[in-house]
Structure formats: C-alpha cells, structure tokens
Structure 1
Amino acid sequence: MLILVINAGSSSIKYQLLNMDSNSVIAKGLVERIGTTGGIITHRYLKNGVSDKKQIHQEFPTHVEGMKLIVELLTAKDFGVISDPSDIKGVGHRIVQGGGKFNIPVLITDEVKSEIKEMSALAPLHNPANLLGIEVAQKFFPNIPQVAVFDTAFHLTMPPKAYRYAIPNNFYTEYKIRSYGAHGTSHKYVRRQAVNHLNNQKAKIITIHLGNGSSITAINEKGESIDTSMGFTPLNGLVMGTRSGDIDPSVLFYMVRECGIKFEELDDLLNKKSGMLGLTGKSDARDVDEMYLKGDQNAILCLDLYSYRVKKYIGAYIAALNGVDAIVFTAGIGENDAQLRSLICKDLDYLGIKLDENKNVELSGPDTVEEIQASESKVKIMIIPTNEELEIANDTLNILKEM
C-alpha cells in the first residue's frame, strides 16, 4: 500500500512516498522557489536496496509544474520507484488550520476544500498554499482518494480555560478568536512513541517541538492535549527562528504610536524579523550556537531568553498536568541541539528533572527514541525524532480502510 504525503507551501512542495506495509520511505523530495527564479527539486529515492538522489534545476512558474515533475521523477525508468501514478492508493495533505471544526482527518470533498479556504484568514501564510497543493494533486491523481490531516486537530481536546482569551465573548462566538495551537501532528506522533517506549499508555508527557517554528504541549494520561504554547496563530509562545513568541500586546500599540511602525508592518515584523533573527541577526540555531560559544553577547542573551521561555512553559505545564512522567525533545533543534537542551534542563532539579550531560551530547540527533536523563532524575528526558509524514500517512491509510 503506497501513500503519497504532500506538504505544500507558498513557494514549495515537500513530499514523501511511503510503503505502509513496512512503514518505509521509498522516495521523498522538495520542490523549491516556485513562482520565482532559481527553481530546484531534490528527489531522494530507494531502488533495489540502494539510496540515491536526483537534483534538477528548472523554473517552476506555478505548483502545477512542480507536481508534474514530481510525478515524472516517481515514474522515471532509471530512478523512479513506481510504474504509474495509479500505484499510489491515497494522498495525504498537511493542512495547518482546521479551525474548531476538524478534529479528525477527513476525506477531501468540495465542501472540505471550501471549509479550508474559509479558514485561510486564521492561517493566511499556510492554508491557501495547502489548498493549492490539494487542487494540484487532484489534477495529477484524479481518481485517487485525497485526505486532509489538520495540524490543529490534536489540540481540540483543550478545555475552554486553556483555549479562550479574556476578551468580550462575541469575538469568540462570531469571529472564532481562540487558541488553536499547531504542530499537532508532530506532538501526537512523538507522544505515541514515548508511551510505547515507556510501556505506559497513561504517562503524562510534555512534548517540546523545537524548530524554526517551535511549540510545547501538555498531554495528559488520556493522550489529550490540554494546553499548548501556540495560540490563535503560530506566532504565540516560544521564541522561534524569526517569530517573537509571547509579547505584551501594548508593545505593538507603542510601536505604532511612538516608533514610526505602520500597522500593516507589524505582521511582517513579528513573524519574519523577530525571534533569533531579531536578537542576533541569524535565524538558524546552529549559527547562534556558534556565536554563543565565541562569547557573542547577543547570542548569549538569545539562548538564555530562548531556553528560559521553554523552562517557564515546562513549569506551567507540570502544574497544569499535576505532575509529569517524561519530557520529550523533537524536531530540528530539539533533536540535534545539545547546547539548548542543556540550557533548558538546567536548574530544574526541584521538579525532578536532571540531565545527563554526556548522554545529551553522545545521543544527540538519534534515529530512534533515546533517554538522556541522569540516573537520579525522577522525570524521563527523551529525544524522539518526529515523523509528521508517517503520521499523516497512517491517518490517510485509516481513512482508506473505512471507505
């Protein structure tokens, strides 16, 4: 059973083709710079037990040209992995914002597409691109079931006290302003890996997804998200690569009134020019780590602020859960940045969290679940590689089984 997973961005298409009989990836790739110059596709594939890759430089005026080349690469005689697009039995799409309606993956219909479009106001950078990915995929796989998997779905178990804002009620009832969260597919996946590893399906877990976008989630003994750091949009919560995270709203009023910032510039300022980039001039944590080790004061402040924000959320979520069995680091920074994991876990001894610094370094960037807590730690500290594509593929497969 072959499932194709598509994550379409405004100028990119990320894809994976998975064999669900073995949960293995047989091809994956990324189309970049759609709609601009310097287009490139990097296609990695597994054929006859050998892994290889193919790169092609060409212009992609629209997503249609990108998807056309993906299909050609998947079916190519020399480096393709299927003989015909019909070999694929289902296509799963990552959709960032499902609003308060979609709490489970759904088979894509015209009505579902209309709903995704309606919710674009809640995720203007993501949902329109996600919807475009669906429409393009339907052109090339017209008779193959397509499934939408929503990033927000996992967080719809949050209680009102966690997702409501203390603003007049009509803004919630009429305009649906509330906390929705994000990265739900990743949090759900690593939580399952954690409880299976611990052989404790009722474990209370705090999952920490640290990448260019970052979020942290409190998951109770029922496997339900009860709170998460991202809010109405992915801007809220932790410090990120280019996003500010939590900020006093009155700062924005002050910027407009006193700093000469135009109101329409605020979105770009907070989403694309803040976070690590705003503090250090670099948005990549690897660059900031290097500056930190050289004693750069901006980098020191950045990592101290970054880790402090995560630390505060850990404390808050332990209180919300009334205890915790494990904390899990995942995603690009969470899995690979020993420096930040060390800073985050420092001085949490009172909460029973104690890192083994040697394991933290030696087991960084693992292929499977690794524990990095000290022997005296009362709380498990784990690194778990996320696999959102596999989670989406599994959700898609489950929908196909119900058809």
Structure 2
Amino acid sequence: MHPTVPAAEGTRSVTATDGPHHVLVLNSGSSSVKYQLLDMRGGARLASGLVERIGERTSRLVHTPLATGSPARERVAPIADHAAALTAVAGELAADGWGLDSPELAAIGHRVVHGGQHFTEPTVIDEAVLAEIERLIPLAPLHNPANLTGIRTARELRPDLPQVAVFDTAFHTTMPEAAARYAIDAATADAHRIRRYGFHGTSHAYVSRRTAELLGKDPSEVNVIVLHLGNGASASAVRGGVCVETSMGLTPLEGLVMGTRSGDVDPAVVFHLKRVAGLDTDEVDALLNKRSGLVGLCGDNDMREIRRRIDGGDAAARLAFDVYVHRLKKYVGAYYAVLGRVDAVAFTAGVGENAAPVRAAALDGLAGLGLVVDEELNAVRGGGPRLISPAHGRVAVAVVPTDEELEIATQTYALVRG
C-alpha cells in the first residue's frame, strides 16, 4: 500500500520552505477540464479556470488570474480534445508567468472519482496506478475514463513532473464492513466488487477537519455529521476524524434526495418499471440519475427557484422540498445513532452553505437530540466557517464552506515533499 499522507487542516497548507511550491489541480470531465493553480506557501489561489464543450465547435475557455486581480479572460473556439484543452490551459497560465514549464510547479494533483478498495490515500501516478484506475472503470463508467484522459494528457505534457491521484472514495475506505457491505450473496458481491464506496470524500475530509478547528479541538476528539448538499448530495458520519458511514454507495445514486438523482429507492422499483412500463436498463438508469430527485418531483433542481415557488404557493415545489428535507433529517438521526455522541453537524456545498431554510428545516424538531438552529445566526450570509447554533446548544451546528481543490493540492504537495 502507499505511504500515508498528512491531510489538510483548515485553510493552512503544508509549509513550503524551499524548492518548487506551486500545485496545479485538475478535474477532468468527459467534455470539460476545471483547474486551479495554488501556492502552497499559504494556500493562495494564483489562477483558476474552466474549459468546457471539448470536442465541439463552440468550446469555451474561461481563465481567471486571481493573483493579479485582472479580469477573467474568455475565448470561444474549437478545442478538439483534452490534449488541446490542457495545451490551451498551459498557454493561459504561461501568459500570467506560471506555465507548465515553470520551475515553481511542484506537482499536478488529479481528482479521480473512483479508487475502489485499493486506493485508500493519495498516490503518485505510474503505469501500474493507471492500469488499476482503468480496471475500476466499470464502477465509474462516466467519470474514471475522463479522469484517465486528463492524467495521460498531463503526463505527456510534463512527463518529468510528479503527478498525484486523489480519490473521491479514499476517505470512506475506513468504513467498517458492517457499513460497507450490502446484504446480498457474498460470492456474487465479491466477484463483481459490489459494496458501498461513498463519494465526495475530499469534501467530507476537509469539512470534518475544519469543523473540529472551528470548535478549537483536534479532529481526533470530535464526532461530526457532515452534510454535503449540492446538486449531488451526501452525508457522512465521522468519528474522531475517521469516516464510519456515508450515504452514497456503489455509485453516487444511493442516499439523499439530490438535484436530479433519486437517492434511496426500493430496488424492486427497477423490476417494476421493466415489467410494467417496459423500460430497459439504460432507460431506468437515466430516469433515476437524470430525471428524478428535485427535478423529478417539481421540474426544478435549483433550491432558490424551489423556495421562490413555495413562497408563491406552489404545491409541487413544497412537496419536493418536504421530501428532500425528510430524507435529510432521517439520515441525521441515523448517523446520530451510529456515532452515539455527536459534537457537531456541518452543512457544506452550494445548498448547505447558502440555503438557510434547508438547514432550519433539516434540524427542526431535533432539540431533544441537542440540535437547535439559531434563527438570526442561520439567516446571516457569510463567507467563512461559522456556528449557527445558539450558545446553549448541546451540539454545535455549523456552516463550513468546502474547498476540495485545496484538499487535493495539500495532499498532493505533502506526498511529493515526502
């Protein structure tokens, strides 16, 4: 197995005293590349950007040179493939003085969605690592191929530079077998690697540590329920800095109600739809992943629009909100039982950080568990980690902005620095 790497704590990064100290973080999708360049002497962002619609005539690159405060640069022109996309990114960075050939670039950190059971921590990429990521494609057919394309392209551009894979699933590999196993035939499960893996791991790792820091405690002393609520949503139970349960499973479909994903459903729904509606496997897959969740219930997956519709008396929007919150509250209660003692509940990601009504409704009626939201504190919009529970609250309730790029960069830098 690979060497353990110190994880990021709060907004601080590994201290760079000499040598190259920049890390480029790449998140390669099937037709997009998101990137950030960070200075690990303090975790400052030097530049960020997005290439989208790769392979189309209307490909778009938006580059923001954050360190200089200059306005974003945008260009729309055909970008044939990921190699062309990364070459264009390198050109934008070079224009700011930070090209891929910069002597200050220490490493490139790659987000990889699925690491299976094999990858439990960030890993320097070599041919064996690439082969294992490729072997895991059946578990993440939409994500791992794109991640591999980005990695291979970056390695071609800078074959001499250390490149590190940071896995969404890694933080959850500490779950006990009782949490990770599905109750199906064991031989079948083992043969096809069917188990609960979990996702959003870099976010859950970062936020659980930041929550402990907010409380002035070491992560090893704190039990946290983390609620990562974006268009994709997941919950985790973190005991003393270690994940012991999470809501997503073999795929990101299990668990909470999401923007377009159903979350938990009776597996027999699939059989019923095949028998009664005549849907084939791909059609059921598309239904549960793309036409369910909030959008399936009310036609919208933007929580702001749903709240606006509720204020206007829209019954479908109200039902969608209630289903969303009911599932969320159910998981909070379940994870409270799993942990036994809860020191904090932390809300993060787009909905978790910005939707005060969701936070209030998710914990409404849980005062008996020590979970209370202060109405005034909850209504305040702030940029940093903050408590929204009253001073007398038995359990801290926090809003903690996530920072997956910093987490990836910090783990990458710690590994290459040895």
TM-score by length of 2: 0.92
Does residue 359 (structure 1) correspond to residue 371 (structure 2)? The answer is no
Residues 172 and 262 of structure 1: is their aligned pair in 2 closer, same or farther, counting only changes over 3 Å? Answer: closer
User: What is the aligned partner in structure 2 of residue 129 from structure 1?
Assistant: 146
Does residue 268 (structure 1) correspond to residue 259 (structure 2)? The answer is no
Identity %: 44
Structure 1: which 5+ runs fail to align?
A: none
**8 A Cα contact 2:236 2:245, kept in partner:** yes
User: What is the aligned partner in structure 1 of residue 73 from structure 2?
Assistant: 54
Shift of 1:375: 2.9
Let me know the Cα RMSD of the aligned residues. 1.3
**8 A Cα contact 1:354 1:376, kept in partner:** no
Distance 2:396 2:365 in 1: 16
Deviations 1:90-144 (A, max 9, x none): 0000011000110011000011001001101101111111111101111222211
Does residue 300 (structure 1) correspond to residue 318 (structure 2)? The answer is yes
Deviations 1:56-77 (A, max 9, x none): 111222111111110000001x
2:379 aligned counterpart, secondary structure: helix
User: What is the aligned partner in structure 2 of residue 247 from structure 1?
Assistant: 265
Deviations 1:20-47 (A, max 9, x none): 0011000001111112342111111134
User: What is the aligned partner in structure 2 of residue 382 from structure 1?
Assistant: 398
Distance 1:174 1:308 in 2: 35
TM-score by length of 1: 0.96
Structure 2: which 5+ runs fail to align?
A: 1-20
Bigger CA drift: 82-91 or 142-151?
82-91
Residues 226 and 356 of structure 1: is their aligned pair in 2 closer, same or farther, counting only changes over 3 Å? Answer: same
Question: Which structure is richer in relative contact order (CA contacts within 8 A, separation 6 or more)?
Answer: 2
Letter matched to residue 294 of structure 2: M
User: What is the aligned partner in structure 2 of residue 212 from structure 1?
Assistant: 231
User: What is the aligned partner in structure 1 of residue 303 from structure 2?
Assistant: 285
**8 A Cα contact 2:45 2:67, kept in partner:** no
Does residue 180 (structure 1) correspond to residue 200 (structure 2)? The answer is no
Distance 1:387 1:334 in 2: 13
Shift of 1:273: 1.1
Shift of 1:87: 3.2
Matches within 5 A, 1:62-101: 62-76=81-95, 79-82=96-99, 84-101=101-118
Distance 2:57 2:371 in 1: 49
Q: Which stretches of structure 1, 4 residues or longer, exceed 3 Å deviation after superposition? A: 79-87
Paired residues, number: 396
Distance 1:212 1:52 in 2: 28
Shift of 1:188: 0.3
1:13 aligned counterpart, secondary structure: strand
Distance 1:351 1:93 in 2: 40
**8 A Cα contact 2:100 2:158, kept in partner:** no
2:251 aligned counterpart, secondary structure: coil
Does residue 36 (structure 1) correspond to residue 56 (structure 2)? The answer is yes
Distance 2:31 2:344 in 1: 37
Residues 32 and 376 of structure 1: is their aligned pair in 2 closer, same or farther, counting only changes over 3 Å? Answer: same
Distance 1:124 1:325 in 2: 37
Deviations 1:277-304 (A, max 9, x none): 1111112222222212212111101111
Distance 1:126 1:266 in 2: 19
**8 A Cα contact 1:92 1:393, kept in partner:** yes
Shift of 1:172: 2.6
Does residue 238 (structure 1) correspond to residue 256 (structure 2)? The answer is yes
Letter matched to residue 37 of structure 2: L
**8 A Cα contact 2:247 2:254, kept in partner:** yes
**8 A Cα contact 1:3 1:20, kept in partner:** yes
**8 A Cα contact 1:86 1:141, kept in partner:** no
User: What is the aligned partner in structure 1 of residue 349 from structure 2?
Assistant: 331
User: What is the aligned partner in structure 1 of residue 35 from structure 2?
Assistant: 15
User: What is the aligned partner in structure 2 of residue 400 from structure 1?
Assistant: 416
**8 A Cα contact 1:86 1:144, kept in partner:** no
Letter matched to residue 31 of structure 1: V
Shift of 1:51: 4.2
Letter matched to residue 139 of structure 1: E
**8 A Cα contact 1:189 1:388, kept in partner:** yes
Matches within 5 A, 1:194-209: 194-201=211-218, 202-209=221-228
